[in-house]
Amino acid sequence: MITTYSIFVLLVTGLYLVVLIYLIKGWAALRRPKQQIPAAQLNTKVSLLIAARNEEANIRATIEDVLAQDYPKHLLEVIIIDDHSTDNTANIIRSYAPQGIKLLQLNEAEKLNSYKKKAIATAIGQSTGHLIVATDADCSMGSKWLSSVVSYYETHDWVMISSPVTYFKEKNLFERLQTLEFSYLIGIGAAFIGNGRASTCNGANFAYRKDVFYEVGGFQGIDDLASGDDELLLQKVAERYPNRIGFLKQREAIVYTEAKPNLTEFMQQRRRWASKSTRYKDKKVVAMAVGIWLFNLSLLINVFAGFFNIRFWELFLLQMLLKYLFEAAFLLPITAFFKRSNLVMLLSILSPIHILYFVYVGLMGNTAKYRWKDRVVK
């Protein structure tokens, strides 16, 4: 019995290592733009969309960063959609009307499961730009963020662009661990695009052509899920334009946000993200995710089975060593890109914790409702 199980362990471990090699190759394949079109020479009309709900603590700073962009003002439209906020969010947005910030307010009486998709779709319907750029209401960015995205768009004629997001202003070890784990996730999305198989991205730094949004039917078919305004839309576009999605590997394009302050909020966020996996169009990606989940499950099994047979602990130690080495090889260039290479030192702490987290979220993200923005959704 242990021989058969050992073969299974080696197979799922081998699968995980092959995936990491694939990701390392994908990240390396991405090239930083060789030229940047000066902001004054860009000519794309952009509609910048931000969906906000109860963001009075953050929205002002985000708006100030948007207003500080070096992108030509006559080519930029900023629309912020207030999603039934119960705090002062709408009034803060409204105070920026003299500076060209447009406020839309959702007023749906009927309960929805995906208010954010409704907010974005409503804003796109009223937008005048050719290129839609989306970010979140709790984000920060440098003054060249938008011009770097549009320069990349105009240079390569992409139909969709995913750009980097990272955490900053960490206050403790828990938040720094989140930053390392989040770098892993962003790296996965970038690496898949680098390998020509766009699959994941982050909606805090996302751009796409307005006509392509309508061409693929917008959020139709995925509008019943609370999450997925980014990845599931990307997958719809990738199905039609598999070679015209880019990842902008440029530091000026980084969007910054903050990690979750406690474990409860962190787990609710990750369960929301995991809930999208049931709708992934690329079944090979789904199969890969299941294989990785089985790899992490096998690690847990080996820990507990080792109390009865020491050979299970031997298998566990071999798996952990390989996991650590290959994950470090993947994360080092990514954290270097974010200028946070020192975070890789935390991998020895994150790696065992990540096993429990991955198995739990893999189960709960697809089987349970969760709370998001003071709403219970699925």
Question: What is the pLDDT at residue 280?
Answer: 74
| Alpha helices per DSSP H over 51-111 | 59-67, 89-94
CB atoms near residue 359 (< 10 Å): 18
> Residue length, the chain?
378
What is the rounded CA–CA span in Å between residue 100 and residue 76?
9
DSSP 15-65: HHHHHHHHHHHHHHH----S----GGG----EEEEEEESS-TTTHHHHHHH
The confidence score (pLDDT) of residue 267 equals: 85
- CA separation for the pair 288, 266 (Å, rounded): 24
User: What confidence tens digit (pLDDT) does each residue in 274-327 have?
Assistant: 767 666 777 778 888 889 999 999 999 999 999 999 989 999 999 999 999 999
| Rg of the Cα atoms in the chain | 21
- CA 185/CA 352 separation, integer angstroms: 17
Which residues are bridge partners to 101 per DSSP? 78
Task: Report angle CA 222, 225, 226 to the nearest 5 degrees.
Answer: 130
DSSP 205: S
Check: CB of residue 196 under 8 Å from CB of residue 370.
no
Q: Which residues of 48-70 are buried (b: 16+ CB within 10 A; e: fewer)?
A: bbbbbbbbbebbbebbebbeebb
This prediction's pTM: 0.91
List phi, psi (to 5°) of 279. Answer: -110, 10
Return the pLDDT at 182. Answer: 96
Residue 159 near residue 209, CB atoms below 8 Å:
yes
Using an 8 Å Cβ cutoff, are 65 and 141 in contact?
yes
Residues of the chain with pLDDT under 70: 1-2, 109-113, 226-227, 275, 277-279, 365-378
- Residue type, position 55, single letter: E
Query: Which helix (H) or strand (E) element contains residue 121?
Result: helix 115-126
Both structure tokens of 55: 């963001």
Q: Which pLDDT score is estimated for 109?
A: 64
Whole-angstrom Cα distance, residue 95 to residue 340? Answer: 36
Q: What is the pLDDT of residue 377?
A: 55
CA 210 to chain centre: 20
- Provide the token pair at 66: 């948007």
Q: How far apart are the first and last CA of the chain?
A: 40
pLDDT at 205: 98
